Amino acid sequence: MKSLLRPVLRISAGVLLGMLLIYAFLYFSQDGMIFIPQTITKDELAGIKKQYPDAGEITVKTPDGITLHGWFLGAKEKGASPLLIYFGGNAEEASGFMTLTERFKGWSLLLMNYRGYGLSQGRPSEKALFEDAVLIYDLAAKRKDVDPEKIVAMGRSLGSGVAVYLASERPLKGVILVSPYDSIRSVARDIYPFAPVSLMLRHPFDSLSRAPSITAPMLAVAARDDKVIPLEHSVRLAEKWGGRHHLVIINGVDHNSIIFENAYHEAVDAFLNACLQPSK
């Protein structure tokens, strides 16, 4: 009997060790999978300034001594204007959004890079991104050229979780979510069904738990063929939203190509125009 048990025990021990090694790899590599910082050089910064001369370079100092870097593009109209605060994807440097500035006439844009992205200092984490978003909002709402009653948060992919958090903490005129998820925990469970994701994940970005309490109008735009954040995760979040919401599903595109579709831009334009209409 002992001779039969030894091979079984060795195989069991080998499988257990293998699983523990996989769990360890996933635990220690998760930051690198969730956050993929894109930086810029001084030469690239000079190129951005030359290409977008109207973009004002801004910095924000956080309570823990980190300097965040980004841009403020003021609306052409005089006086306090509506503001769109944009939170990008996990491998997105904020200045890239400036290629779309012509689509946001009448709106000022605030594009801040996450910690570790662009020229922002520090290292990204869920806690840091959430706290920084609230700080950025509070500073923006005090600007004389911003109408604090007309601030919209827009988040794409990873940034959708940041926008949802901000909407749960501050009054917003509206929320735009592009390729949003219910939670990164839920997405990770689908990818790694064999792993105890709930115990391992340091950055759950649980938008689903916050959605029911948010009353700000919300537009969600999702790709039917999204393989990074499958459509059901976006649908689940939209269905739990506490305020008025609209989900636009675009066919024939995926996680990355959705932003090049006219239907995506048309939906965003219509939502922003609605945000400028007098409240009934």
SS3 206: strand
Residue 258 lies in a domain: yes
- How confident is the model over 219-244, as pLDDT tens digits? 999 999 999 999 999 999 999 999 99
List the CATH number of the domain containing 113: 3.40.50.1820
The values of phi and psi at residue 48, to 5°, are -65, -45
**Does residue 12 sit within a domain?**
no
**Tally of structural domains, the chain:** 1
Q: What is the pLDDT of residues 67-111, one digit of tens each?
A: 999 999 999 888 899 999 999 999 999 999 999 888 898 999 999
Residue 4 lies in a domain: no
Mean pLDDT, rounded, for 197-217: 90
Q: Phi, psi at residue 235, to the nearest 5°? A: -60, -45
- Global pTM reads 0.91
Range of the domain at 42: 35-275
Q: Are strands 56-61 and 218-223 parallel, antiparallel or unpaired?
A: unpaired
Give the C-alpha distances (Å, rounded to integers) separating 39 from 109, 120, 162: 20, 8, 20
Answer for the pair 109, 101: CB distance below 8 angstroms, yes or no. Answer: yes
Q: Outline where DSSP puts E strands in the chain.
A: 56-61, 67-73, 81-87, 108-112, 146-156, 174-178, 218-223, 245-250
Token readout for 176 is 């735009």
Residue 97 lies in a domain: yes
